Amino acid sequence: MDQALLNIQNELLNDTLLLSWLSDRCYQCLFQVLGTVPAGPGPGEPSSAVFNVGTQYPLTLQLNSTNSDTELCRIHFSFAEQGNYSLWIKNVNDTSKEITCAIFIDEEPVNSYFPILVAFLVYTGLASLVAIGGYLMGLDVVRNFMYRMANTMETERLINSELGSPSRSVEASVHAAAPVAPGRRLRSLDTFRGLSLVIMIFVNYGGGRYWFFKHESWNGLTVADLVFPWFVFIMGTSISLSLSSALRHGSSRLRLFWKVLWRSLQLFMIGVLVINPNYCLGPLSWDSLRIPGVLQRLGFTYLAVAVLELLFSMTRLDTITDAWWYPAQELVLYWPAWLCILALETVWLCLTFLLPVPDCPSGYLGPGGIGDFGQYSNCTGGAAGYIDRWLLGENHIYQNPSSHVLYQTRMPYDPEGILGTINSVVLAFLGLQAGKILLHYKDLHKKIMTRFLIWGFVLGIISAILTKCSRDRGFIPVNKNLWSLSYITTLGCFAFVLLFITYYTVDVKRWWSGAPFFYPGMNSILIYVGHEVFADYFPFKWKMMNSQSHAEHLTQNLVATSVWVLVSYLLYRKKIFWKI
C-alpha cells in the first residue's frame, strides 16, 4: 500500500551506484539510502535492481557513484500507487562521460482515490433519500394519508382482537399528531461536536489508510489534525452556556467547582484506562503506563477553563447598549479572565523559546531525527519534549510519534503532552468566547454571526503573520504535535467559521436538522470511549481479504464509524445520555 515498484537499469560499466531518496514533505532532511545497483556486466548489458518507493509524496532520487562518491544524477518524480517504473542510467554516447537518467512507466498505476469517490456517492445518495423522505413526510397530503392508514390498521386490530376501545386509538392519534415544542438547546453546537467526533472516530480507525486522513508528520495540517481542536473549542462553548445557566438558576460557585473537579478527575481516569488497554490482562504496570492522552487533556482543559468561568463570569447578563465598549462587551466584561489567558500564553512562549534544553538550541521547534540535516537528532519537540521526558519519564509518554516514519526520530514524544495543554486551554477559552457571544446577543442572529466571522478573521490574520503563510518557514509553524500558537489560532479561525455555518443552517434558517452528526454530539463521551474500547471487535474490525487495499480499509472504517452513528441515534431515541 502506498508503494510503487522501481526497476533500476544501470548501463555504466565501471560504476556501482548508490540510490538515495528524499521526500518533499521532509523539511531540511538528509537523503536516505535505498540500496545499491551493481555496475553493468558488459556493453549493452545493463545490470538491474528492484526497489519499493513511497507514493504518498513526490520524491527526489539521487544516484551516486560508489567509486568516486560523486553525484551522477538527481530526479524529482511523483510515483503512483502500484505502478511499475524503470529508471535507466546510461552514457549519452560511447565517448562521452555525460550521464543521462530517465524514468519510464512499465505498468500503469491504480487509481487509489476511486474508492473515496464511490463512498462519497453512496453517502450522498443515502442523504438524498433521507432528505426526500423527510420532505415527503412533511407534506400534508402524505402525512394525512399515513395517519389514516395507521388509524385504519389500529381499528382493524382492535376489531379482530376484541380488546381496547376506539377512544384510545383516537387519543393516541391525537397525541401522535401534536407537534413537539422546540427545545432551547442550540442544535448547532451538538452538530458541531458530533461532526468533530465522527471524523475523529474515522481517522482513529485508519481513515482508509490514506495519508491525508493520518496526522501530519510534523508541520502542516491534514484532516486528522482538525478534529480534536474543534472538540476542545466546542467544549469551551458548552462550558460557557452550562455554567452561566447554572449560576442564573441559583447554584453556588463552590458547589459547581466541586462538580467540575469531579468531572475532570473522571475524564482523566477514564482516559488512562482507555489508552492503556492491557488492564484486561491484569493490573496496570506502572513501568509502561502512558499518562497523557486525549481524555486526560480534555479533563485538565475543562477544569482550567471552567474555573476561570466560575471566577469571573457574571450571574446576570444585562446588556449595556449605550456604552462605548458595547461592540466588544464579551471581551471587556471578562478582562480578568483574558489577563489569565495572556499570562498562560506568555508562559508557553517563554518555556518554548527560552528554556535551556541539553544539547539542543533554544527555541527549537523541529522534529529531530533526520530533520534539520541531522544536527539535532535527539531534540524532538524541543522544550515540549524535554519537559515531558523530565517530569513524566520516557516510559510514560507516547512511544511512536507521527514524526517517526518520515523523520526517523528515535525519541519518544507525546502530542498530548504538558506544554501543549496550555494552548489547549487557550483554544477552549476561545470557544468560551463563542459561548459569551451567544449569551450576550441572544436571538440577535445577525450580530452573533457577524462576531463569529470577525473572530475568525482576526485569528486568521494572526496565523498568517506567525506562519508567514508557509508550512515550515514561519516564526511559529502550524504544528499539531506541539499544539503551537499558530496551530490554535488557525484551528480557532476554522472553528469560528464552521460554527457560523452550522449556526446559520441549523438554528437560524433550519435548512438542516444537524443529522446525523447531532446524535453522536449528544452522547460524545460515551461514543468516544466506546469506539476506543471496542476498536478491535466486530463489526468495527474484521479480517480482510487484501490488507493492501485502500478500498477494503475504507469500507471497514466507514462501516465502523457508521455503526457508532447508528448507536448514538438509538441511544438518542431511548433518551440514554451518559454525562459525567
215 is annotated as an active-site residue: yes
Tell the residue number behind the cell numbers 433521507, with chain if given.
130
Nearest to 498 by CA among 195, 294, 223: 195
| DSSP 3-state of 179 | coil
Beta bridge partners of 47: 10
Residue 410, burial from CB neighbour count under 10 angstroms (0-12, 13-18, 19+): exposed
For residue 33, give the DSSP letter.
E
**Phi then psi dihedrals of residue 363, to 5 deg:** 75, 20
Give the amino acid at 512. Answer: W
| Contact call for residues 508 and 443 (beta carbons, < 8 A) | no
Nearest to 210 by CA among 532, 539, 549, 565: 549
Within 129-190, strands assigned E span: none
Give the amino acid at 385. Answer: G
Other C-beta atoms within 10 Å of 555: how many? 16
**Continuous H helices in 276-411:** 294-312, 329-332, 335-354, 383-391, 403-407
CA distance 297 to 425: 9
CA distance 201 to 535: 10
Give the amino acid at 422. Answer: I
| DSSP 3-state of 576 | coil
Which grid cell is 330? Answer: 464579551
Nearest to 15 by CA among 100, 72, 94: 72
Handedness of CA 180, 183, 186, 187 (dihedral sign): negative
Nearest to 275 by CA among 169, 414, 174, 389: 414
Other C-beta atoms within 10 Å of 183: how many? 7
Beta bridge partners of 85: 6, 105
| DSSP 3-state of 74 | strand
Q: In the β-sheet with 47-54, what is the strand arrangement from edge to edge?
A: 47-54, 3-10, 84-91, 99-107
Considering 215, 396, 440, 550, which one is annotated as catalytic?
215
Contacts of residues 93-99 at CB distance under 8 Å and 24 or more positions apart, as own/partner, are 99/12, 99/72, 99/73
The catalytic residue positions are 215
